[in-house]
Structure 1
């Protein structure tokens, strides 16, 4: 489990230096580990308190002592209280310093940057000498070289690199006291952690297989973004994310609240999924919460939401101008919905169109259509799945409508011809049969045409029936209409797929 630590900074200058480079290097305090959470606080002279400013995660633990450099910007060198303006720059951050134009309104001049460039050259020399065990690292005052021999060796190497002011640079180098240091990265401002999004209620809709549920999960991660958590499982475990699938028998009692037996012959109030989730969000207003309602259109939405349908509106949430509170029918509790709760739904057009939704529901959600995409589809044994799916969907749109297209998800993870064949036999063809009410003639047209026998490269072929041989008598009036049967071809080859779009 991740631990949390707080570090305090007294100097605004030093705080700005580190936060602008998005990296803090700090001495270890106790048992910090990689991925632990670090809060950075800064002393406020007015309130005389340390205020939390930044939050980040430990990315590295540096077990060696860190060399730092006391840097005094040229614009403040004449100040009387010079110590207040000294910046201690750890060597790992020296290069970052060249990107700054100012720190806390102190201008970083070209002269300053030239000094840093010389220091960077010296840093490389020191790293090489340390690697070769040629210098003594025991600390002596500010300079960490204890012997004249060590200092002389460094000066000789500096001369070769044409480093200027070597005596001045060496004088201002010192060694951090701690034995271990931590590197804190991915810093975010504390006040910016809980993002506000331009919607509270969103529904992704489109044909099956277009990746609506995947998009809903991705959008959830954007809303829930947190330095401590990063995956769907993380947020589910922390109970910030709830995933619920609607179905035909799903009810208000499942979603909001209802009565249930307590096994003693009594009826007690039982909270539904949504009510429990709302209560969690109210108890943690500093975080965002997301509930995903998968296949939202499969349930009777008006009955499932009941009287709370009004409360989900953005301007009816807690703290908003027109905020509302209602009394729930079973528990008689006051109920409202907080601003930090987001509702994301998914729905297949093929099951039920948006136009069939209750108008009250439609105006409370932002609807985002997800169409099939074709660019990432593979080529399998010369079968171009991008062309294949594009042609099929154009035919479906002509013979049926654009609400019943086929999504790209059916084809994304295929790696062999056998995979493709199985997908068509067990997924694509049954889906088309469902769309066209088992009319195999139309299914055949979508899949490239109708063959005259099972040896031709078509998914569907026709078989002529001799009615007089099949039936002994009484079929004369029907013969004209039923002398052709359409059948699925069991002989599927590469040519069968190529015939769809060539």
Structure 2
């Protein structure tokens, strides 16, 4: 493959139509001139299919192209394709100012080579090609990752698999403009079909839940609610607090973080009711319950909150009001999430309390419902908001007309002892105030990262698992083998976390594994898991090695992976050491790498039977 740079304009530096020619015809060419015979001969006879040609105007690069067609000659020329001598090309990249590459302004057609005095142009064009190829391969891998959601970068040691994984992750999580927030909701409302069968089933289920709750806890009986009927903590699922927190979760999420928010709850480790807030010092449990019941009854039956806000959190009170008055209060209970929802519609909420903000959001829902003549429910409207925006933090909702989304990536490394309890969800021991040991379930990195990506649906989240094949994958992943393929569908975990067993892997959570194909000391990936990943080869690449002595050493080492020295049980692409072993700043560094990195791994290969014994002499003879 040869590198060239050429002018594409006729005898007029102000022509400025090179890009138009390339976009319309994918052609490069020269005129049929009496002068510049050698350049015309180079174009016809020395330029080959596969060569790289940088198109320029004077000292300004325009495009990087690859020759894909043989030489042609035609008298049928136009205003744009003015040249008789021509070749078909593929456009690899358009020049961008931040590339900061140099090209000599001289010459209509110049071939770059190591003997060319125009070395700086040669370096620029070769670097541009390497960069464009890296970007092309990276973009291709990103497209594959978006399609499959999880990939494994596989290759022998030293090919830059982990580095490539980080580059892909950094590209995926970059801030991106998604659009105008309110317009996004309006577009979704226009497409919303309230008669979808699955939606109707959800709606019927929600109606049954609400009816069941109101049957168990009618408004008029709340002032007589008993400790057994109110308190959580005994493990039953028919108490008032369990229903508010878990039973009615499909109608609006409320999770207090601590049972203390309910003021009274059953504490298992001491086998008695634990009282807090304004009933903390009430000795009699029944008396304390009556005081709490009176406050709750006042909120629900009279919608009076002035007294209740002194004892209960706003989120709990909003959950009560939305449950008993679903047409008046919107099913978002967190004030911070309500604030972020109001930002979507550019509503000024300064000076309003949480209840006034909630009612304002409910009014927006009713107005949108009327505007689009849509029978969407308040909960379904709420799902449009929290499924498309990060209402928890509001980080993707700014005060401009554009929605800005940004994600996050993390990197972990598997090892043979890694387990499901380390990766997904597991039990940890804690010591209580009185010295007793209790056990609780805790989400680990995958479940935590899945929740982050669910909370921020417009951002991309990337989990890099280095050395993914060093762990027992079926054991580590467990039931999530299914979730890898069926994104956004709940799977049941073996552990219950915060009264919930389901785990969902959202579509915006991507997994990149790296795998050393030379490592035979660990287990292989079985077919069930392999089917759920796409595999991308990351192989040794001589072109990225700049130092000439390092290139020579690379090729000397490459000979060891020929049939003469390599066992037939191994393929060169699985075991040949990669280019990162040969990336050095100077000869001294290369010598150090040879003695302390390259030769040691080659000797290990010899010991493991990857090489025949005759390779030993060749290994020891390697030098710089």
For Structure 1 versus Structure 2, the TM-score category normalised by the shorter chain is 0.3 to 0.5
Structure with more strand by fraction: 1
TM-score of the aligned structures, taking structure 1 as reference length: 0.44
Relative contact order: is structure 1 or structure 2 higher (C-alpha 8 Å, sep ≥ 6)?
2
TM-score of the aligned structures, taking structure 2 as reference length: 0.36
